[in-house]
Amino acid sequence: MSGDAEEINFDGLVGLTHNYAGLSEGNLASARNSGSVSRPRDAALQGLAKMQRLRALGLAQGVLPPHERPNISWLRSLGFSGSDGEVWSRVWESEQFIARAAAAASAMWAANAATISPSADCADGKLHASVANLQTMLHRQLEAEQTQRTLERLLPDAARFVVHEALLPHDVLSDEGAANHMRMTGSPGASGVEIFIYGRRSTGDRKGFPARQTEEASQAVARRHKLDPGRTVFAKQASRAIDMGAFHNDVVAVAHEHVLFYHEEAFDDKDALLAEIRAKAAGFEPVFVEIPAAQVSLQEAVSSYLFNSQIVRLPGATSLTLIAPTETRDNNKTAPVVAEMIAKPGAAIGKVEYVEVRESMRNGGGPACLRLRIVMTPAERAAAAQGFFLDDALAAKLEAWIKTHYREELAPADLPDPSLVTETQTALDELTRILPLGGDFYPFQRT
């Protein structure tokens, strides 16, 4: 396979209704900040600044659009009627939980949009994407349909790309996308070992916080992507990690190229997992960078989001770079651990860059949650819709668009305001002319 393939991060642009509604049981930050005043404009600018920072470091970067929120077409399907503004006012009068779900800007966490398998791993030589059903949380399940449209716009060439619909949204097939999927490889374009981490099998008998990924869903995605069973690994996340607030695997582990960076207590049977990765790795020697619980407890891993970092290889670099949240730098347990790790001679991860994504962090979304990784060969990159790749001109347009349309603050009491509907629709309509989305991308444009 092509040695020139490149992993491209596609970040979700933070939506105009970014707010703290406490919608995600088991996500401690979401619960803690429930009811706080959010700052949508800062949130979107922080996300854009992270994308630009990675570009400045020499990496390719893409962007994915927010979804239509408030989600008026969904509310109409529940029987609310009248003008769009009236629909929005009426749902708040009788169904506040549903109203909050309809306002969530959670599509920003693109790591949950889909699971991606590069063409080098798939038996038919195509790049496969499976939209995640996100069925555990009502506000997140609403994302699947629009994500499908986005990925079909981004990856339009059926001869090269397969975009699979979300699995049937049921408890047994619960799927949260790339947040529970890792890939290890000698170089991005070579075939790799795909690692699926699930929290339970079937409906399970778990007490505790919800396990959002089932083994059945992971197996189905691997089958659909035509992965080689000899290069595919399935492993269970430690239940204790979930109960301590690691609602996705990417809160306690992240992999890039030959390196797996993880917390000692992330997995149910760590030794079996590492042995299977070693046995299935062909053409490269896996490196396991484990952070012991004695140095960073699970609780500190969750509050600092150390493992919700991106790992990247900067052009020409011999070691990898950790793109970590500033919360990791400001935590007196994790900051020295990172400093020590990168200072070791011959360290696999030899550099750290801290990024500020505070508004997203306060809902449990760190740097790694905000991006969907897609490994593309040069031919695939050329076949993808070019308007989703960030350059300075697009970044300037997006920045101006955010500054024009986003509210500075959004308090819980502001959400029922019917002018929020007009405001968001006006902004999103304009966005469909900045990104290659077209005049029928959002449901409100089709009615």
Does residue 70 interact with ligand SUG by CB under 6 A? no
Question: Binding string to ligand SUG for residues 199 to 218, with x set by CB under 6 A, is what?
Answer: --------------------
369 in catalytic set = yes
Q: Which is catalytic among the residues 18, 67, 225, 248?
A: 248
Contact of 121 with 129, CB cutoff 8 Å: no
Does residue 21 interact with ligand SUG by CB under 6 A? yes
Nearest Cα to Cα of residue 153 among 388, 447, 422: 388
Tokens of 336: 């020295």
- Say which residue the tokens 């630009």 belong to: 52
d(CA 201, CA 237): 11
Helix 96-103 with 84-94: angle, nearest 10 deg: 130
CB of 38 to ligand SUG, least distance (A): 9
d(CA 52, CA 40): 18
Could you say which residues in the range 336-365 bind ligand SUG, by CB under 6 A?
A: 363-365
Q: Which is nearer to ligand SUG, 114 or 402 (CB)?
A: 114
122 in catalytic set = no
Q: Which is catalytic among the residues 7, 68, 176, 264?
A: 176
248 in catalytic set = yes
Query: Which residue spans within 102-237 are E strands per DSSP?
Result: 114-117, 127-131, 161-164, 181-184, 193-198, 232-236
Question: Binding string to ligand SUG for residues 107 to 126, with x set by CB under 6 A, is what?
Answer: --x-xx--------------
Q: Which is nearer to ligand SUG, 175 or 380 (CB)?
A: 175
Q: How many residues bind ligand SUG (CB under 6 A)?
A: 24
For residue 210, is the peptide bond before it cis, meaning its omega torsion is within 30 degrees of 0? Answer: no
d(CA 288, CA 303): 23
Helix 40-56 with 392-405: angle, nearest 10 deg: 170
CB of 43 to ligand SUG, least distance (A): 12
Alpha helix positions (H), 225-264: 239-243
- Could you say which of 68, 216, 250, 359 contacts ligand SUG (CB under 6 A)? 250
CB of 217 to ligand SUG, least distance (A): 15
Q: Which is nearer to ligand SUG, 365 or 443 (CB)?
A: 365
**Chain positions contacting ligand SUG, by CB under 6 A:** 19-24, 27, 30, 104, 106, 109, 111-112, 137, 140, 179, 247-248, 250-251, 363-365, 369
Q: Known catalytic residues?
A: 176, 248, 369
